[in-house]
Amino acid sequence: MNLVLIRIDDRLIHGQIVEGWLKHIDVNCIMIVNDKISRDPMQKVLFKMVVPSYIKVEVFSFEEVAEKVKNKYFDKYNFLILVTSPHDVLRLIKVGLELDSVNVGGMHYSSGKKYILPSISIDEEDKNAFLKLEHLGVNLEVRLLPLDDRKNIMDYIK
């Protein structure tokens, strides 16, 4: 698998992705991994509509990703993977993806979450997931856009 970037962003595909990241990274496929969206044909269509036509958009459940990894489906693409939480990243590791680093781009405030950085709010479960990822040796950088300075999210969590 040619994984160019994995990003946690609860908005998934939006302006920062299309206008910011896609102009700076060499990908030909965006993969959204989300059980709920994988069952929603309308959302799949909407996400595909906002991305340039030369970039393939795939939406998979975690179960589907596990099967695709085993069958080496991903070997023919340069990927940007989008998930909504650090828990999702842990699930991807469990299905066999090897990850060196994760970009944390957007985890917006909701009830029970604590603001730690612009566009990043977490609760205790998120904190524990990030701690597990750090323990696994995954670099956890915060960057909203590719030219922004990199920050280690763990400096703001501990």
Active site residue 87: no
Report which of 80, 81, 151 is spatially closest to residue 120, judged by C-alpha positions: 151
Report which of 117, 128, 123 is spatially closest to residue 156, judged by C-alpha positions: 117
CB 100 within 8 A of CB 134: no
CB 33 within 8 A of CB 83: yes
Evaluate the CA torsion angle 144, 153, 116, 95 in order and state its sign: positive
Catalogue the E-assigned strands of the chain. 2-9, 29-33, 56-60, 78-83, 101-106, 114-117, 120-122, 139-142, 151-152
143 vs 70: CA distance, rounded Å: 31
Catalytic residues: 14
